[in-house]
Structure 1
């Protein structure tokens, strides 16, 4: 498909979290190659194997989606939220500078993470369970197949595969193959284009 970069989670090398409490696989970041202090947006998948604090990211808006496992309880240090992330495909948003303690509900989990630098970029994360059409536009769009097979334009994605339209997306139909299916769509809107 023209302009789309395909990726597979299985091919991405795990790296330690910023605070060393888990591992992450970076799917994509902008600008490409930007470090943890310079990205405008970053999409990754993290494995949480033990209770502990989340890394702090001042000035970053975060959205997290459970991909596998029983889930995790997220408790803000300031008491502003106490959230059970236990429904696969349901995004939860919070400020990256907020201290958050993570407690596993029943064993290790895998989570999808979207981080955007406040004032520069914002993200919309949607869980798709049937057919949908990507509207043509200039924003970056990332698709990630969580469950089942997906036909996106002329490509077929298996669970763990995805597509990144870094410079805008053409109008593109997407449909699930037979059986249970879940696809995450992330639209990344630049607020201060350079």
Structure 2
């Protein structure tokens, strides 16, 4: 995980309750510590957290050659192959051949190695603190998708035509819902719904 800093192009908002659009292509890529890839941080909670204190983190990784992943004890990880390039991972000795939009989940303590990559693979990476639930859900087709913070933490465009309030969203752009509800227009599109849920303690 690279040294963290807030995304330089993160749009200013009037309040923490405002919807935000993150233009991922304009985020500055940070090199991995081992030099085998790069990461663009889409969002992190808290924004000023460290790897030891963050609750969750969503990022887009460029994986350019085989090699090991860093370990993050105390975290759970969810990785989705976001480019039409085959990506093969070994997780604690178990091989996973990921095709476009396929995903795998594993512990931050796991020994993970990229064993094969054909070209430049890209992966959507969600890390959550152990005890917090994180998930990806693929949404495909033509629809007006309701978007609210009650059911969505973030939405990430994978392909197709996607619009929000008259603005066209590009590949890998992310939407972080605000307090109200809006709609995302999909035309022959694929988006990933990202959910981060903190379990409610029993009464």
Partner of 1:175: 185
Choose which of 93, 97, 117 in structure 1 pairs with 2:129.
Answer: 117
| Distance in 1 between residues matched to 2:22 and 2:149, nearest whole Å | 21
Partner of 2:60: 45
* 1:141–1:169 contact (8 Å) kept in structure 2: no
Partner of 1:90: 102
TM-score, normalization by structure 2:
0.80
Return structure 1 stretches of 4+ with deviation > 6 angstroms. Answer: none
* 1:124–1:186 contact (8 Å) kept in structure 2: yes
Structure 2: gaps of 5 or more residues = 1-12
* 2:66–2:115 contact (8 Å) kept in structure 1: yes
Structure 1: gaps of 5 or more residues = none
1:133 Cα deviation after fit: 3.5
Partner of 2:118: 106
1:70 Cα deviation after fit: 1.9
1:135 Cα deviation after fit: 6.1
1:192 Cα deviation after fit: 7.0
Partner of 2:173: 161
RMSD: 2.4
Partner of 1:188: 196
| Distance in 1 between residues matched to 2:84 and 2:134, nearest whole Å | 25
Structure 1 pair 28–176 and aligned structure 2 pair: CA distance change class (3 A): same
| Distance in 2 between residues matched to 1:49 and 1:4, nearest whole Å | 33
Partner of 1:142: 154
Describe the SS at the equivalent of 1:68.
coil
TM-score, normalization by structure 1:
0.83
1:69 Cα deviation after fit: 4.1
Partner of 1:127: 138
